[in-house]
């Protein structure tokens, strides 16, 4: 796990627990304390939503949990409902890396990787025949869409998985902008994750 992302997670968890404690303690206080706690409930709900989004990113990125299984865990009726919830949380909260937290500021390399992931996801989504190009093509597209708004640690993992999925897709006949975007993504990943770049190359899947 990325050290900065791990520090951020501990920071957010500690802050969230403290906020929860303060809200509960206020129930035994005076009117001002109770009203103040009600106002802080908005912060607490946002913290819970952020935790849920980060768990969704981890489940779909590092652990490759299916949307169907995620839906069951969340008490939702279908995989589509789980995908829609993840999309809503992403839109509502924006990037988890943007919030003023000192652990959540992208380095230039991470910012470039994030931008490359967002561009590549857009190009894949714009190709009407992309999802049918390969059994893992849709996974690559959805993974990059999630990566674009993920914290730095999960961002690396999601892009790594997406690139592995992309390695099985024949890109020769795809639109030129798509191929350029994927090339930029590979370069940005190598620059942002030097440890991954220095590791022995994985066996390439036949195209």
Compute the distance between CA of residue 16 and CA of residue 43 in angstroms, rounded to an integer.
9
State the pLDDT confidence band at 86, using cuts at 50, 70 and 90: confident
Mean predicted confidence (pLDDT) in 159-172: 91
Name the pTM for this structure: 0.49
Compute the distance between CA of residue 14 and CA of residue 17 in angstroms, rounded to an integer.
5
| DSSP state for residue 170 in the 8-state scheme | -
Compute the distance between CA of residue 25 and CA of residue 183 in angstroms, rounded to an integer.
53
Is residue 196 pLDDT above 50, yes or no?
Answer: no
Q: Under a CB-based contact definition with an 8 Å cutoff, are residues 131 and 141 in contact?
A: yes
pLDDT score recorded for residue 203: 42
pLDDT score recorded for residue 12: 60
> Between 93 and 79, where is the model more confident?
79
């Amino acid at each position: 796990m990325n050290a900065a992302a791990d520090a951020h997670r501990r920071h957010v968890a500690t802050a969230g627990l403290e906020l929860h404690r303060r809200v509960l303690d206020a129930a035994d206080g005076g009117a001002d304390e109770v009203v103040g706690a009600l106002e802080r409930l908005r912060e607490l709900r946002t913290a819970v939503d952020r935790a849920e989004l980060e768990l969704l990113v981890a489940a779909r990125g590092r652990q490759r949990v299916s949307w169907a299984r995620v839906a069951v865990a969340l008490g939702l009726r279908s995989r589509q409902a789980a995908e829609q919830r993840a999309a809503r949380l992403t839109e509502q909260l924006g990037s988890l890396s943007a919030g003023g937290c000192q652990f959540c500021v992208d380095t230039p390399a991470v910012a470039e990787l994030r931008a490359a992931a967002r561009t590549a996801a857009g190009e894949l989504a714009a190709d009407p025949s992309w999802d049918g190009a390969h059994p893992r093509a849709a996974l690559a597209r959805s993974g990059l869409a999630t990566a674009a708004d993920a914290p730095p640690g999960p961002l690396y993992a999601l892009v790594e998985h997406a690139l592995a999925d992309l390695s099985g897709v024949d890109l020769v006949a795809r639109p030129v902008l798509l191929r350029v975007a994927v090339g930029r993504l590979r370069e940005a990943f190598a620059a942002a994750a030097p440890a991954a770049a220095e590791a022995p190359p994985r066996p390439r899947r036949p195209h």
